[in-house]
A and B are shown apart, each in its own frame.
Chain A
Amino acid sequence: MSWIRFILVFLGGWPLAFGSDEFSDRLEQLLTVSTRDGRLRGRMSGTLEIESYAMQLPAPGLLYSESAFLTAPRWNVFLDVQMGAEFYFFAQVRADRGFDPGAAGAQVRLDEYALRFTPWRDSRLNVQVGRFATAVGNWGARHGAWSNPFITAPLPYENLTGMWDTEAVPLSRVLLLWSHVYPGSQGKETLAEKFQRVPIIWGPSYTTGILVAGELGRWRYAGELKLGSLASRPDAWMHGLEEWTHPTVSGRLGYRPNQMWNLGVSASAGPYLRDFATVNFKTGVGRGDFEQRVVAADVTFGWHQWQMWSEVFASRFCIPKIGDVDTVSYYSEVKYKLTPQWFLAGRWNQQLFSTILDRGVATKWGADVWRIDFSPGYRFSAYTQLKFQYSLQHGDSACRDFTRTLAAQLTLRF
């Protein structure tokens, strides 16, 4: 495809053509504007990303592809506006082929926008309204392509469970079919299914709502009221306002014993079913009964050239008249900078499922999964980065025991 070649030449040629970061530094100054007194300042920035995947079908995680090779370009534009010390506004516009890498047509979306009010000069209290990443966990703050050592998200953020958000589970057996626990009964995974299944938490979860957050000494707190559960999909975030009768409540309490460590616990509760899925409900069962409840813990460590992140999520999906089903997923990720330009990262992920009674037999409602991710990366300059990722996954495919995925991502910042 000639346009892909064009983009590659353009991106690859960027650091060579401009030799140093000076051009980008000047561009940054050019894209920053200010009133004369400096009280109102705005900056436009962004990334150009091009990702390519070579995978075994069915496409793993949140990749939407019927072909074993997928290339997904993306253009991110950020706007940051500082209005005095009290107000801060940001927005993120994306042009790509779908929120998650896929072969969809080109689209432009306003994925994030928020206004933050900080009444005091310290950060004891901040109130934010808009559509923005969840405060739960620690991945939301580092999900950008530039700062993240990996190309795909950790398992809890992208491994699709057998739970659907488009239809309530009518029988245990149906859930076991949806989650492919009964081999052969449903055949292999299909792409269409991906538009029904949900993970524990969908990527950064850009849902609409209000956030109250702050810092008190070594403690950090955040509480949010959002229109959409952690498991909700990007398509649902866009139609967030219909969710106002059943908001999701989430929060995180963080503690920093020193500069190296950052610890946190989070919790969330909200309905995982879309509102249109409730049309056929019998009386006595409401949408609010189909609740997703999550408790999570996260830890971040940094020292010299080392960085480490780890999170564990326990999610319950409540199914009235059938019973609750649980899943636990965790990951540990380590990054080491070999040189100012080279880095290596490794990640271990696992997800386990509880059992559900099917005709009197306790059966796991999902296939336990583990995955190893390995990623080397190189920064050509302060604005251009190339990453590779190799993933080996065991479980959750009706076709084979091991699934391998190779990915490459070129990121250009401006």
Chain B
Amino acid sequence: MKKFLLSSYPDGLSRRWAGSIYEAIQELGTWAWRVGSCLGLLGISVEAATIEGRVSLPKVRVAPVINQRYEIIATGGVLGTNPPLAVVYLEGKFAGAATPAVVQMIQREMAFVPALLPVRIGTKVEFPNLDPGFHNIFSFSLAKRFDLGRYRSDEKPVPSQVFDALGLVTLRCDIHEHMRALVLVLDTPYFTITDEEGSFRLIDLPAGAFTLKVWLDSKTIRERPVVLVRDTARRMDFP
């Protein structure tokens, strides 16, 4: 049986002490990874690491109110609520993706689905419109500034953007002021989104020393260092 190693900053320690301990654990983690690799070479079954946990999420957000003063909206102004979710990701040094990923964010019933989308840097996001009317997606965020204009649902190729700079991108619609979505551009292939209870599970993680980060909103990112050894599962909660 192989063991996992996990660490976090002990409370009350000065940043300097915490730094040294962190470095020591990182060193230990690298050794553990080397041991794991050797076991792998020897033909002993090796699996990737897993982190499970739970993040305490902020209070439920109020659903937006659609401005329909001069337009009759087919959905009767009723929107699904987007509960607050968190993005959990592993930060470290990883090899670049061989082929950039392509994911979709759709526009359906006057809303972006999903409303929060974490992607790895270089990912192409397509924006299919499934509504009978136009939308006009744009972003003024520094990490990605664009305006897709108005395009028909049947237009090919589906309008898309490559998110090539790290950071948070707020998507809006020039026609429907209530529409809002976030794209979080990350420098890691290892990320997931929590469920509405805040539970998450990151699988197929490599061994090594990393930082586990939890993105809650543009102002709140929580983090803990973590050293992963192959074929291990670990629980990490962010209460």
CB distance from B34 to the nearest CB of A (A): 44
Of the A-B pairs whose beta carbons lie under 8 Å apart in the complex, a sample of 21, sorted by A's number, is A29-B62, A32-B62, A32-B64, A32-B65, A34-B62, A38-B62, A43-B65, A82-B65, A82-B66, A88-B68, A92-B69, A118-B77, A121-B75, A121-B76, A133-B69, A215-B74, A259-B133, A302-B134, A303-B152, A305-B149, A340-B147
| Any A CB within 8 A of the CB of B170 | yes
- Please determine whether A379 and B77 come into contact, CB atoms closer than 8 angstroms: no
Name A194-217 residues within 8 Å CB distance of B: 213-215
Name A331-348 residues within 8 Å CB distance of B: 337, 339-341
Interface string of B136-155 (1 = CB under 8 A from A): 00111110011101111100
CB distance from B216 to the nearest CB of A (A): 14
Contacts of A302 in B (CB 8 A): 134, 150
CB distance from B63 to the nearest CB of A (A): 5
CB distance from B110 to the nearest CB of A (A): 12
Contact of A45 among B67, B76, B146 (CB under 8 A): B67
Q: 4 nearest interchain CB pairs?
A: A85-B76, A141-B70, A43-B65, A340-B147
CB distance from B168 to the nearest CB of A (A): 9
| Any B CB within 8 A of the CB of A140 | yes
CA distance A303 to B153 in the complex (A): 11
Contact of A122 among B74, B145, B149 (CB under 8 A): B74
Contacts of A21 in B (CB 8 A): 140, 170
| Any A CB within 8 A of the CB of B1 | no
- Please determine whether A88 and B77 come into contact, CB atoms closer than 8 angstroms: yes
- Please determine whether B65 and A303 come into contact, CB atoms closer than 8 angstroms: no
With A82-B78, A123-B74, A340-B139 in contact, is A258–B65 under 8 Å at CB? no
Contacts of A29 in B (CB 8 A): 61-62
Contacts of A38 in B (CB 8 A): 62-63, 81
- Please determine whether B218 and A304 come into contact, CB atoms closer than 8 angstroms: no
Name B48-107 residues within 8 Å CB distance of A: 61-78, 81
Contacts of A398 in B (CB 8 A): none
* Complex: chain A residue closest to B218, CB-CB: A22
The count of residues in chain A whose C-beta lies closer than 8 Å to any C-beta of chain B is 55
Contacts of B75 in A (CB 8 A): 121
Contacts of A32 in B (CB 8 A): 62, 64-65
CB distance from B196 to the nearest CB of A (A): 15
* Complex: chain B residue closest to A33, CB-CB: B62
CB distance from B144 to the nearest CB of A (A): 10
Contacts of B67 in A (CB 8 A): 45, 78, 80, 90
CB distance from B47 to the nearest CB of A (A): 42
Name A298-345 residues within 8 Å CB distance of B: 302-307, 337, 339-341
CA distance A316 to B24 in the complex (A): 89
Contact of B78 among A80, A85, A220 (CB under 8 A): A85
Residue picked from A34, A85, A141, most chain B C-beta under 10 Å: A34
With A29-B62, A305-B147, A337-B149 in contact, is A382–B172 under 8 Å at CB? yes
- Please determine whether A213 and B72 come into contact, CB atoms closer than 8 angstroms: yes
With A21-B170, A302-B150 in contact, is A341–B140 under 8 Å at CB? yes
| Any B CB within 8 A of the CB of A42 | yes
Identify the B interface with A (CB < 8 A).
61-78, 81, 132-134, 138-142, 145-147, 149-153, 170, 172, 177, 180, 218
Contacts of B72 in A (CB 8 A): 123, 126, 213-215, 220
- Please determine whether B134 and A80 come into contact, CB atoms closer than 8 angstroms: no
| Any B CB within 8 A of the CB of A171 | no
| Any B CB within 8 A of the CB of A391 | no
Contact of B147 among A34, A88, A215, A339 (CB under 8 A): A339
- Please determine whether B69 and A90 come into contact, CB atoms closer than 8 angstroms: yes
CB distance from A345 to the nearest CB of B (A): 14
Contacts of A25 in B (CB 8 A): 170, 180
Contacts of B77 in A (CB 8 A): 82, 85, 88, 118
| Any B CB within 8 A of the CB of A260 | yes
CB distance from B170 to the nearest CB of A (A): 7
Contact of B145 among A34, A259, A340 (CB under 8 A): A340
Contact of B69 among A112, A213, A379 (CB under 8 A): A112
- Please determine whether B73 and A123 come into contact, CB atoms closer than 8 angstroms: yes
CB distance from B65 to the nearest CB of A (A): 4
- Please determine whether A304 and B65 come into contact, CB atoms closer than 8 angstroms: no
Identify the A interface with B (CB < 8 A).
20-22, 25, 29, 32-34, 38, 41-43, 45, 78, 80-82, 84-86, 88, 90, 92, 112, 116, 118, 121-123, 126, 132-133, 140-142, 213-215, 220, 258-260, 302-307, 337, 339-341, 379, 381-382
CB distance from B68 to the nearest CB of A (A): 6
Question: Besides the contacts A29-B61, A81-B65, A132-B69, what 16 more A-B pairs have beta carbons closer than 8 Å?
Answer: A21-B170, A22-B218, A32-B62, A32-B65, A42-B65, A90-B67, A123-B74, A133-B70, A214-B72, A215-B72, A258-B152, A302-B150, A337-B149, A340-B138, A340-B139, A382-B172
Contacts of A303 in B (CB 8 A): 149-152
CA distance A365 to B231 in the complex (A): 91
* Complex: chain B residue closest to A79, CB-CB: B65
CA distance A78 to B138 in the complex (A): 24
Contacts of A259 in B (CB 8 A): 132-134, 150, 152-153
* Complex: chain B residue closest to A92, CB-CB: B69
* Complex: chain B residue closest to A126, CB-CB: B72
CA distance A6 to B149 in the complex (A): 35
Contacts of A118 in B (CB 8 A): 76-77
Contacts of A126 in B (CB 8 A): 72
CB distance from B111 to the nearest CB of A (A): 14
- Please determine whether B70 and A304 come into contact, CB atoms closer than 8 angstroms: no
- Please determine whether B69 and A78 come into contact, CB atoms closer than 8 angstroms: yes
With A90-B69, A112-B69 in contact, is A43–B64 under 8 Å at CB? yes
With A33-B62, A45-B67, A82-B65 in contact, is A340–B146 under 8 Å at CB? yes
